[in-house]
Amino acid sequence: MTQTASYDICAVGNAIVDVLAPCDPGFLTDQGLMPGSMSLVDESQSAALYDAMAAGVEASGGSAGNTVAGVGSFGGRAAYLGKVAKDQLGEVFTHDIRAAGVHFDTPALEGGAGTGRCLINVTPDGQRTMSTFLGAANQLTVADIDVDLIGDSAIVYLEGYLFDPAPARAAFEAAAKAAHAAGRKVAITLSDAFVVGRWRAELLDFIQASADIVLANEVELLALFETGDFDEAAERLSQIVEVAAVTRGEHGSVILRGEERVRVPAFAVDRVVDTTGAGDQYAAGFLLGLSRNLSLADAGALGSLAAAEVIAHWGPRPMTSLHELAEQKGLRLHAA
């Protein structure tokens, strides 16, 4: 990225407050939830599930929101576009993201749905099953897209979950258009295999037309190309985007650029507590590295470090300074 920008990353996403609680697999069965999935629920379903869950911990979340919080923890310059309501959870989200050093001033929704929330049930193996009431989050519209802010950001990062609500998808597309008009890069995360299943053709069209960088996990990648062959899917993705990073859990990640293939190992953790936010934090490190012209290997290492930090504790955002961790591990944060 050679053009001067005030922000390394500007993310556009669903502004969500997470409620995390432990559960056993039987609870998921009783509630009719598919383990490891993300499903959309309405306000009454959300309330009923909340009442049935074990005592939970509230933490500001939303995939892209988690990513820019991670960018801030690395000492990066981040901005965020997302919609909350003028209510208590909206105040929690706004306080938390600003406290992470992220620029956020999207006007709050008044007189409509409440702030979005994601009920996350975590089984003993660390897997999370998410039930999301989008609320105000899917009221993000084209009018909320700050073209000047996007134009002043090296990479604009778009959350695949925004393919679900139509008004937010229009905002998503407007953000990509504004980024390219300003000569910036557009990154997209596929977000969830179920999102890919619902919008496969549309996602492929968007990636080919508007995305420079794609982030996905292995399951999402295979779903995108409807194949069980990782190498085939990776090759096909590399042909339609400039850069792609595919995470593979404990096996690390594979980064693709043209004919280049870089395999980045995962950082070891003593115990996996909660995988919520692992992909989001990988994106934080990787995209920050790209925005600062690091090599693919160095950018991937920052992603792996951030993912390892977040899966070792409850919650989707860093609890330890990623900047300090990177320095301790001898990882590069700036191009030479």
pLDDT per residue as tens digits for the range 184-201: 999 999 998 989 999 999
Q: What is the pLDDT of residue 1?
A: 45
Which pLDDT tens digit goes with each residue over 62-94? 999 999 999 999 999 999 999 999 998 999 999
CB-CB neighbours of 334 under 10 Å: 10
CA-CA distance, 323 to 333, in Å (whole number)?
A: 8
Structure-token pair, residue 15: 């502004």
CA-CA distance, 255 to 318, in Å (whole number)?
A: 23
Residues 181/188, Cβ–Cβ less than 8 Å = no
Q: What is the pLDDT of residue 275?
A: 86
Planar angle of CA 135, 141, 145, nearest 5 degrees: 125
Query: Mean pLDDT for the chain?
Result: 94
For 115, 164, 248, 296, the CA distances from 93, given in Å and listed in that order, are 9, 21, 30, 32
Return the amino acid letter for 39.
S
Q: Using 70 as the pLDDT threshold, list the residues of the chain that sit under it.
A: 1-3
Structure-token pair, residue 82: 């997302």
CB-CB neighbours of 14 under 10 Å: 27
Q: What is the pLDDT of residue 3?
A: 64
Residue that is written with structure tokens 């997470």 in the block: 18
Cα-based torsion angle of the residue sequence 101, 106, 107, 110 in order, rounded to the nearest 10 degrees: -100
Q: What is the pLDDT of residue 242?
A: 98
Q: What is the pLDDT of residue 163?
A: 80
- 145 burial level (CB within 10 Å; 0-12, 13-18, 19+): buried
